[in-house]
Amino acid sequence: MLSDVLPSVCTAFGIAGENPLGVTIERDVVLLLIDGLGAELLRRHADDAPTLAAHVHTTLNAGFPATTASSLSSLALGAPCAAHGIVGYSFGVPDEHGRRLFNSLRWTIDGASGPDARASHPPRELQRRRSRLEDLADAGAEIHYVVPAYQETSGLTRASFRATGVQHPAANLDEVREGVLAVARHDTAARRFAYAYTGLLDAAGHVHGPGSPEWLGVLRAVDAMFADLLADLPGTCTLLVTGDHGMIQAESLVNLDALPALHRGVRIIAGEARVRHVYLSRGHHVDDVRARWSETLGTHAHVVTREQALDEHWFGPTPPNPVVAHRIGHVLAVAQGGSVLVTPSQEPMESRMLGHHGAWTVDEQAIPLITTTP
């Protein structure tokens, strides 16, 4: 699981605990997250990314849902969704009228372009679990971030990564490379951990589709950067590379706005096009809404109640606490095959995307763990 990566790093640093991935280190560790790097996509396009493909150590599962906000939280906290509570791209949070739509990636209320929610929903209160980066810092590791500048103060970073550290702003691949080398090239006795990130592959996949010429161009550039790092990194630095999810090409678009039956008894439709959280209005019955969604969507989606999803441990092996459980939709609709469940009225940009992720297919769930050590 993706949530095993940082616990393994912590153990390699000498912190008591399990090391399920067998990570070994010399002095420093850089963990590079390539947003949207799915294991199946990398396997199918290995000729365009030969260096990355040649260094795959194992394949992990992103966890459910396979979406950036949830996966980055699982990575940083070393725990699945049921433990940390970032249960989707967007989900319902309590308010005086029952619930409001909260976007966890943007940390906004009432949609991706809604008001900033860092004051109304403080990150460290909405997500209270301690991060594994904090454990590394307490063990004496210097913490560094090689990330786009906006991430330094984002709500998601504050909620899930939590540890203070040295910032190396990196908006493009050259800046990622230089930031990683700046972390690794030092003559001090200090041990360093750096989290590095690039979202360029994910963006190309959403806009142009995974496997498109534009996406392949970014994949080749990412592979070239990784090859440069292999050549230039000192032997004292271990580089780990992984993704947060894979991606599928949209084949069948289902416009939820155009299906009135899906809105009867429903207060909020949250999540994203591959995983929908459905929250009921007061006075309506879960089984009725689930049956209506299942009948209307047919083979486009697998529709279950919250209770079934929790009984089947969709969000992790340990049951969530009541606060986290309450964030999960009363009904969940998980897209199947190449179907996407769009809501153009509230997600105009997302509804036009060609590439999507979040659900259970191997293309979305499987992610590589790539390492520079044998």
| H or E stretch covering 56 | strand 56-61
What is the rounded distance in angstroms from the CA atom of residue 132 to the CA atom of residue 96?
34
Q: What is the pLDDT of residues 193-247, one digit of tens each?
A: 999 999 999 999 999 999 999 999 999 999 999 999 999 999 999 999 999 999 9
pLDDT for 186 equals 94
What contacts 352, CB < 8 A, 6 or more positions away?
A: none
User: CA separation (Å) from 46 to 16, 60, 69?
Assistant: 37, 18, 27
Q: 59: which 2 tokens?
A: 């394949």
**Cβ neighbours of 189 (radius 10 Å):** 6
What global pTM score does this model have? 0.95
Q: How confident is the model over 157-172, as a mean pLDDT?
A: 97
pLDDT for 372 equals 86
Q: Cβ(330)–Cβ(349) under 8 Å?
A: no
| Domain range summary for the chain, segments of one domain joined by + | 2-79+127-247+361-371, 252-352
Q: 288: which 2 tokens?
A: 């009725």
Residue 9 has pLDDT above 90, yes or no: yes
CATH code for residues 252-352: 3.30.1360.180
Phi, psi of 229 (to 5 degrees): -65, -40
pLDDT for 374 equals 60
Q: Cβ(95)–Cβ(327) under 8 Å?
A: no
Q: What is the pLDDT of residues 295-333, one digit of tens each?
A: 999 999 999 999 999 999 999 999 999 999 999 999 999
CATH code for residues 2-79+127-247+361-371: 3.40.720.10
Cα R_g (the chain), whole angstroms: 20
What is the rounded distance in angstroms from the CA atom of residue 147 to the CA atom of residue 196?
6
